Amino acid sequence: MNIIINGKEKEVINNSNVHSLLTTLGIEPGAIIIEKNLTFLDKKDYKNNILKNGDKLEIIRFMGGG
């Protein structure tokens, strides 16, 4: 199935959850937030949030600096 991540199409395994997607992408969930279909997700729900074909995700990373 295909989803959109930060504007780019990505093929993922059916019934993947947000947590497994982050693991596949090599992203630590600590310093990011995720918006799925215009709704921000709570980190505690990443394992229970199943991805569906056509979902749109924005993965936003926090960066320090000055």
Along the 66 residues of the chain, how does pLDDT read in single tens digits? 999 999 999 999 999 999 999 999 999 888 899 999 999 999 999 999 999 999 999 999 887 776
The reported pLDDT for the residue numbered 44 is: 95
CA–CA distance, 17 with 55 (Å, rounded to integer): 12
pTM, 2 dp: 0.88
The reported pLDDT for the residue numbered 38 is: 97
Local structure of residue 65 (DSSP, 8 states): -
The reported pLDDT for the residue numbered 63 is: 75
The reported pLDDT for the residue numbered 66 is: 62
